[in-house]
């Protein structure tokens, strides 16, 4: 399905500006029905994005104003259709809003919340594939092009196109050519934070909106999630392939070893046969490894796929050779308190550090004046203590609580959270503490975390009011995905699904869908006219049979076999009509002649080959017709005096 994302994204950025050269307070440029649109907003967008407008005719104030009105008409219609209330819109927007808000909130020292989030992610491993789109520079125009390309790739994925194929075609990650974008399994700290955060907040199978990192824009597909094993201890028997001609022999040898290997004799076979001199003497045992700590995805996947202690893998081929792997033990993840110093150290030196805003962390409770139920701590202690089985608390074990679970535990602004809400959180997170922590310690820390999490969630929603820059960024994305939704609903999908209209257009415009006349030819070029003339004389008499000797005798003559049409820059257009070996001509500072091998006349293109082109044309027509109806549906009134003053200020 082909959609006009270029114009959409130009508008997405054009109509969400930052600064204006001149302030026009309280001046309205135009109305759409009863809604006013300010001069100031128009100027901000015009000045910021003027260089992004390709068509010079649209740079005039009058023409640009019409584009701006069209843009806002589309958004107004999207809201009228309640697309901003749809599940698809809200899902995409809420995910982005959270990511954007966290990037504004977080800007300082390490916080407890970030440490615990990281620990929770240590407990889960995720798998994802990505397509990376990089920008040529940090200039807005180049960034916009990269973002447009990323959105277009996402659109293709949403339409069902193969991820691996698109990754190999479009991704700027060099590894994508080999792995189709697959990043294998990973957990916290293995990817840059915005990328990691996106994957952990996605559902398996989801395709993300473009995620911006220091590397560029990533379109991500989450392909898996599983509980982490922590670190595993393994042994292996490895055979290396020193020469390509030995590959089959080594493969047969590893199979023979596998046929005789057991748990009992694994170590002895490793000592006898393994080519890994560093581990052979101790029975092939490697140091404990975690996910993403081995420089071989195949090896890592085979090792972490072993479910039982003493399990032995099938022979596994990697870039290092062949391996047989045995699982010795699993070292489960340590408690949060035990790992906290290590996590803190990593957070401080990772991309997470910039996501923490120390001042907000210190002031949130004071800002929102959180209030608690009287004696809440004692009540919670009694409820949890009575419902414990050993050190484990379960809500289902609560009998006759000292206060109804529906009682408000704490509140701030208009937010209220009950004992039930907190106890559910406590039950879910209670195992993240060291075994020596007593109930009071667990209760205090968990309650602090719960309050902080709720305050942060509320603060995210307040950011639009508190931070104009954030509000502008959030509106940019909201308008962008809303515009995408309405264009898909009113233009792109109707055209792509109407095969009758597509065929009708094709039949009525057959003359527009022809291939250009093509030739397949050998092109001979040289800076030396005399040499090329001698070369041509022999070649014309003896043909291809003389090529090897001629190229050896005339090393400056370049020979290229290629297909081209009359517009090709490889040859002078006057040579295109040649029937066989042409005369000599000067071209691009060299001399050239060609030998036409085959001529392909212009031919009618089949419908399937031009369907995308037809859909583009029909989508443009449909959009123009739709805009006409919108201009009839809504009343547009431009203040001519204000417009005149505005135009004079730009002259």
Confidence of residue 58 (pLDDT cuts 50, 70, 90): low
- Contact between 28 and 642 under an 8 Å Cβ cutoff? The reply is yes
Helix (H, G, I), strand (E, B) or coil at 517: coil
How does DSSP assign 266-328, residue by residue? Answer: HHHHHHHH---HHHHTTTTBPPPB-TT-SS-HHHHHHHHH--STT-BPPPEEETTEEEEEEEE
39-49 and 640-650 helices, crossing angle to 10°: 30
CA 156 and chain centroid, separation = 13
- Contact between 463 and 471 under an 8 Å Cβ cutoff? The reply is yes
Secondary structure of 572-586 in the HEC alphabet?
CHHHCCCCCECCCEE
Helix (H, G, I), strand (E, B) or coil at 310: coil
Using CA atoms, how far apart are residues 381 and 395, in angstroms rounded to an integer?
13
Written as six digits, the tokens of 263 are 């748990």
Run of H or E including 219: strand 216-227
C-beta neighbour count of 128 within 10 angstroms: 27
Task: Tell which residue, 449, 385, 376, 379, has the closest CA to residue 409.
Answer: 376
- Using only C-alpha atoms, the chain has a radius of gyration, in whole angstroms, of 34
Helix (H, G, I), strand (E, B) or coil at 178: helix
Mean pLDDT in residue range 118-143: 88
Residue 437 pLDDT more than 70?
no
Mean pLDDT in residue range 263-289: 90
C-beta neighbour count of 612 within 10 angstroms: 11
Q: Give percent of the chain with pLDDT exceeding 70.
A: 90
39-49 and 5-14 helices, crossing angle to 10°: 120
- Contact between 414 and 454 under an 8 Å Cβ cutoff? The reply is no
Mean pLDDT in residue range 480-507: 94
439-466 and 468-487 helices, crossing angle to 10°: 80
pLDDT digits (tens, 9 = 90+) for 557-612: 888 888 899 888 788 999 999 999 999 999 877 899 999 999 999 999 999 999 99
Query: Residue 103: what pLDDT?
Result: 64
Query: Residue 26: what pLDDT?
Result: 74
pLDDT digits (tens, 9 = 90+) for 294-331: 888 899 999 999 989 999 999 999 999 999 999 999 98
Using CA atoms, how far apart are residues 55 and 14, in angstroms rounded to an integer?
14
DSSP one-letter code for 488: I
Confidence of residue 475 (pLDDT cuts 50, 70, 90): confident
Query: Residue 524: what pLDDT?
Result: 92
Residue 374 pLDDT more than 50?
yes
Residue 22 pLDDT more than 70?
no
Confidence of residue 46 (pLDDT cuts 50, 70, 90): confident
Task: Tell which residue, 58, 77, 155, has the closest CA to residue 630.
Answer: 77
**Residue 630 backbone dihedrals phi, psi, to 5 degrees:** -65, -40
pLDDT digits (tens, 9 = 90+) for 383-394: 999 988 777 889
Q: Which residues contact 196 (CB under 8 A, 6 or more apart)?
A: 121, 186, 188, 189, 190
Mean pLDDT in residue range 408-415: 92
Work out whether the CA dihedral 629, 634, 635, 638 comes out positive or negative: negative
Query: Residue 225: what pLDDT?
Result: 94
Higher-pLDDT residue of 381 and 137 is 381
Confidence of residue 33 (pLDDT cuts 50, 70, 90): very high
C-beta neighbour count of 230 within 10 angstroms: 15
Using CA atoms, how far apart are residues 388 and 72, in angstroms rounded to an integer?
58
Run of H or E including 68: helix 61-80
Most confident of 256-270, 310-324, 336-350, 569-583: 310-324
Q: Give percent of the chain with pLDDT exceeding 90.
A: 53
- Contact between 113 and 509 under an 8 Å Cβ cutoff? The reply is no
Higher-pLDDT residue of 623 and 141 is 623
Query: Residue 358: what pLDDT?
Result: 37
Run of H or E including 186: strand 182-186
607-633 and 499-508 helices, crossing angle to 10°: 110
Using CA atoms, how far apart are residues 550 and 541, in angstroms rounded to an integer?
12
- Contact between 524 and 593 under an 8 Å Cβ cutoff? The reply is yes
DSSP one-letter code for 223: E
Using CA atoms, how far apart are residues 292 and 294, in angstroms rounded to an integer?
6
Mean pLDDT in residue range 480-494: 93
Residue 12 pLDDT more than 50?
no
Number of separate helices (H) and strands (E) present in the chain: 25, 19
Beta strand 316-318 with 636-638: parallel, antiparallel or unpaired?
A: unpaired
Using CA atoms, how far apart are residues 527 and 529, in angstroms rounded to an integer?
6
Q: Rounded to whole angstroms, what are the CA distances from 29 to 33, 431, 641, 643?
A: 13, 60, 9, 7
Mean pLDDT in residue range 248-270: 90
**Residue 635 backbone dihedrals phi, psi, to 5 degrees:** -90, 120
Using CA atoms, how far apart are residues 71 and 74, in angstroms rounded to an integer?
5
Confidence of residue 57 (pLDDT cuts 50, 70, 90): low
Using CA atoms, how far apart are residues 427 and 148, in angstroms rounded to an integer?
45
User: Mean pLDDT score of the chain, rounded to an integer?
Assistant: 87
Residue 16 pLDDT more than 50?
no
Task: Tell which residue, 502, 521, 465, has the closest CA to residue 615.
Answer: 502
Residue 9 pLDDT more than 50?
no
Query: Residue 7: what pLDDT?
Result: 41
pLDDT digits (tens, 9 = 90+) for 174-216: 999 999 999 999 989 889 989 999 999 999 999 999 999 889 9
Using CA atoms, how far apart are residues 598 and 580, in angstroms rounded to an integer?
9
């Amino acid at each position: 399905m082909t959609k006009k994302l270029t114009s959409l994204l130009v508008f997405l950025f054009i109509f969400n500006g930052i600064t204006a050269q001149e302030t026009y307070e309280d001046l309205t440029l135009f109305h759409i029905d009863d809604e006013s649109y300010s001069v100031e907003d128009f100027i901000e967008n015009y000045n910021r994005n003027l260089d992004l407008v390709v068509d010079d005719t649209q740079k005039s104030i009058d023409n640009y104003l019409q584009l701006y009105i069209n843009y806002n008409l589309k958004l107004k219609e999207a809201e009228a259709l309640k697309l901003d209330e749809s599940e698809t819109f809200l899902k995409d927007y809420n995910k982005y809003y959270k990511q954007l808000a966290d990037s504004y909130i977080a800007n300082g020292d390490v916080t407890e919340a970030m440490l615990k989030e990281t620990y929770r992610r240590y407990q889960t491993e995720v798998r994802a594939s990505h397509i990376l789109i990089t920008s040529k520079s940090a200039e807005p125009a180049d960034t916009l092009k990269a973002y447009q390309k990323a959105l277009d790739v996402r659109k293709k994925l949403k339409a069902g196109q193969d991820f691996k194929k698109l990754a190999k075609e479009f991704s700027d990650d060099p590894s994508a050519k080999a792995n189709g974008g697959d990043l294998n399994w990973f957990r916290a700290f293995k990817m840059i934070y915005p990328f990691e955060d996106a994957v952990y907040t996605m559902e398996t199978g989801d395709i993300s909106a473009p995620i911006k990192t220091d590397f560029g824009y990533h379109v991500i597909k989450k392909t898996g999630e599983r509980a982490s094993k922590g670190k595993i201890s393994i042994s292996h028997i490895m055979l290396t392939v020193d020469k390509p001609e030995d590959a089959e022999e080594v493969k047969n040898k590893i199979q023979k070893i596998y046929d005789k290997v057991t748990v009992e004799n694994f170590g002895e076979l490793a000592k006898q046969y393994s080519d890994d001199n560093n581990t052979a003497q101790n029975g092939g045992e490697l140091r404990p490894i975690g996910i993403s700590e081995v420089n071989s995805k195949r090896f890592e996947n085979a090792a972490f796929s072993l479910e039982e202690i003493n399990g032995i893998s099938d022979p596994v081929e990697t870039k290092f050779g062949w391996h047989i792997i045995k699982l010795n033990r699993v070292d489960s993840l340590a408690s949060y308190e035990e790992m906290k110093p290590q996590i803190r150290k990593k957070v401080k030196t990772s991309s997470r550090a910039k996501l923490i805003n120390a001042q907000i962390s210190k002031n949130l409770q004071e800002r929102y004046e959180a209030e608690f139920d009287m004696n809440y701590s004692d009540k919670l202690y009694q409820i949890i203590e009575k419902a414990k089985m050993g050190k484990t608390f379960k809500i289902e074990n609560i009998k006759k609580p000292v206060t109804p679970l529906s009682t408000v535990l704490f509140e701030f602004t208009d937010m209220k959270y009950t004992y039930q809400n907190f106890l559910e959180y406590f039950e879910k997170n209670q195992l993240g503490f060291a075994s020596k922590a007593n109930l009071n310690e667990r209760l205090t820390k968990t309650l602090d975390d719960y309050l902080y999490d709720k305050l942060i969630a509320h603060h995210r929603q307040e950011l639009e009011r508190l931070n104009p820059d954030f509000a502008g960024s959030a509106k940019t994305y909201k308008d962008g995905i809303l515009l995408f939704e309405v264009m898909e609903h009113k233009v792109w999908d109707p055209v792509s699904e109407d095969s009758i209209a597509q065929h009708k257009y094709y039949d009525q415009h057959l003359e527009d869908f022809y291939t250009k006349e093509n030739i397949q030819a050998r092109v001979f070029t040289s800076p030396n006219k005399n040499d090329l003339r001698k070369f041509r004389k022999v070649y014309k008499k003896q043909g291809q049979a003389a090529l090897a000797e001629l190229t050896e005798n005339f090393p400056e003559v370049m020979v290229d076999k290629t297909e081209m049409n009359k517009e090709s820059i490889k040859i002078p257009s006057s040579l295109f009509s040649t029937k066989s070996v042409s005369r000599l001509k000067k071209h691009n500072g060299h001399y050239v002649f060609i030998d036409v091998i085959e001529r392909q006349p212009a031919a009618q293109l089949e419908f399937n080959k031009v369907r995308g082109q037809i859909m583009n044309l029909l989508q443009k027509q449909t959009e123009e017709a739709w805009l006409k109806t919108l201009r009839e549906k809504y009343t547009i009134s431009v203040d001519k005096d204000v417009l005149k003053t505005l135009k004079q200020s730009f002259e």
